[in-house]
Chain A
Amino acid sequence: MSMKTSLTFWERLYFPEIFRGIAITSRHFFKNLSNPLKNPVTIRYPEQKRFIHPRWRGRHRLMERNDGSPRCVACMCCATVCPARCISIMPGEHSDPAIMKYPVSFEIDLTRCIFCGYCVEACPVDAIRMDSGIVSVVGYDRDQLQFNKDRLLAKTP
């Protein structure tokens, strides 16, 4: 429903309302000019960083066992559930008979990842997490966004 409101005489004079508007904008201007480092809401990004909540989904990381090997058992749950099909795992037989498999290679193509977090939900052994808090997934070419096992284990950044 559209309400038709008619302007008052004071508003129809036009100039008083303009002066009111100028007063509002210049109030903001002088408030921010008086303390330009504090008053504007801008976060000066590379120096200042926004608070990242622990549950926020950032770049993936792989969890390790106590001996430093990946916790992943190469069950392929994450690769199956991934809607972007960005996870590719090559399973291999583990020397320890108690562990069923281990990933020979574990690659995430971050150019395809949609950061939905299904892989984290699907993992039965809590081997993959997205709590690294890394916002900037950047690279100078596409190869730099293919994250292999070592990079996901954060042995190399």
Chain B
Amino acid sequence: MAEALILAVKIAIATMFVLNLAGLLTWAERRQSAFIQDRLGPNRASVFGIRLIGLLHPVADGIKMIMKEDFIPAGADRVVHTIAPFIALFPAFVAYAVIPFGDRLPIFGYDVNLVVSDINIGLLFVVAVMSIAIFGIFLGGWASNNKWSLLGALRSAAQMISYEVTLGLTIIGILMVYESVRLDEIVRAQGDLLFGFIPKWGIVTQPIGFLLFFAAAMAESKRTPFDLPEGESEIVAGYFLEYSGMKFGMFFMGEFAEIVVIAGIIASLFLGGWQIPWVTTEMLLKAFPGWLVALIQIGVFSAKVVALCWLQLTIRWTLPRFRYDQLMRLGWKMLLPISLANIFVTGLVILLLQ
């Protein structure tokens, strides 16, 4: 009974984390882009005159989307058109099930592992689940019975398959260094020190891998500079062109949830997850009670995720969109060979260090 309760709390934490952060990001993106462009951004939505620096805008957007007409175009495949947004949204939440947000801690007498599901194929599970999101987008574009939607769907399928190769190959470098597919163990291994003083984070052991993974993951999330599937100036809105109301909202939320997931994965693989540099869990447990340590570790993990979300938004508002041939050239001719070379060099270094 207690274990079921603990699991329910963990699921609630993980789900609420993604859901709330994704909702906040819809606001943060507009405010951040405004600040980057020396504007002020949305700050007007108010309840009884209380504005909360515009934090009510996501709420207003949500209400608006629920109230809007839910339109299915003539000639569209009604069933596929309806389920496509669900398929696009759910992988982001499922992927967070295996991302650890804390160490195994004694909290109020229970031995709690702060990860929803500590499965032994964690990293492969993330990659597998994330690739399901393509189906949502592709089915949505296909079922809409619209040229632009189909073009967007085709582009997204081609783009995501191309960049998933790099994504997978970059992960191999991480697997070679930490010798585990279990995300829990990868994060725990990053608590070690390299040469006695450098934290053995993924960004230290795999700097090239970090850049490649980040680039490929940004391409996976289909945001500028990789937003060709949407490309509002070219193909109107791409795959979600024929969606309205909350179904559009689900695509929209899915995009932001994916940012959160990417930030979570990168934080876990390359930035030490919940690890604080030079401070081990044992040191924290000596100084604080278990529940406080859990809060500290969740806070550290959240801070890393938020920082990475910020970085993704900044990149989105820094770079213009690629041309399609540039996108494919970057994916196949630059990132793929570099990621292969990265695996080779990693293997060589591991061999020499033995």
Contacts and interface: CB of A to CB of B under 8 A. Distances in A.
Interface of A: 15, 18, 21-22, 24-26, 28-29, 32-33, 36, 39-42, 44
Interface stretch (B4-12, B31-39, B186-194, B231-239): B31-39
Nearest to A26: B314
B152 to A, nearest CB: 25
A33 B35 contact: yes
A40 B318 CA distance: 18
- Leading 9 A-B pairs by shortest Cβ distance: A42-B40, A32-B35, A21-B318, A25-B318, A40-B40, A25-B36, A29-B35, A29-B36, A28-B36
A106 B38 CA distance: 46
Interface of B: 32, 34-40, 211, 311, 314-315, 317-319
B333 to A, nearest CB: 12
B39 A18 contact: no
Given A21-B319, A22-B315, A25-B314, 12 more contacts: A18-B315, A18-B318, A22-B314, A22-B318, A25-B318, A26-B314, A28-B35, A28-B37, A32-B35, A40-B39, A41-B38, A42-B40
A28 B40 CA distance: 12
Contacts of B37: 28
- Interface residues of A: mostly helix, strand, loop or mixed? helix
Contacts of A22: 311, 314-315, 318
A26 B313 CA distance: 10
A10 to B, nearest CB: 16
Contacts of B34: 40, 42
Contact of B317 (A15, A25, A32, A44): A25
Contacts of B39: 40-42
A47 to B, nearest CB: 11
A26 B35 CA distance: 9
A55 to B, nearest CB: 29
A75 to B, nearest CB: 48
Nearest to B53: A36
A111 B102 CA distance: 64
Contacts of A24: 318
Nearest to B32: A29
A42 B34 CA distance: 10
Nearest to A44: B40
18 contacts: A15-B211, A18-B315, A18-B318, A18-B319, A22-B314, A22-B315, A25-B318, A26-B314, A28-B35, A28-B36, A28-B37, A29-B314, A33-B35, A36-B35, A36-B40, A40-B35, A40-B39, A40-B40
Nearest to A41: B38
Contact of B38 (A26, A28, A44): A28
B295 to A, nearest CB: 26
B24 to A, nearest CB: 16
A28 B211 CA distance: 24
A25 B225 CA distance: 15
Contact of A39 (B38, B314, B317, B319): B38
Contacts of B311: 22
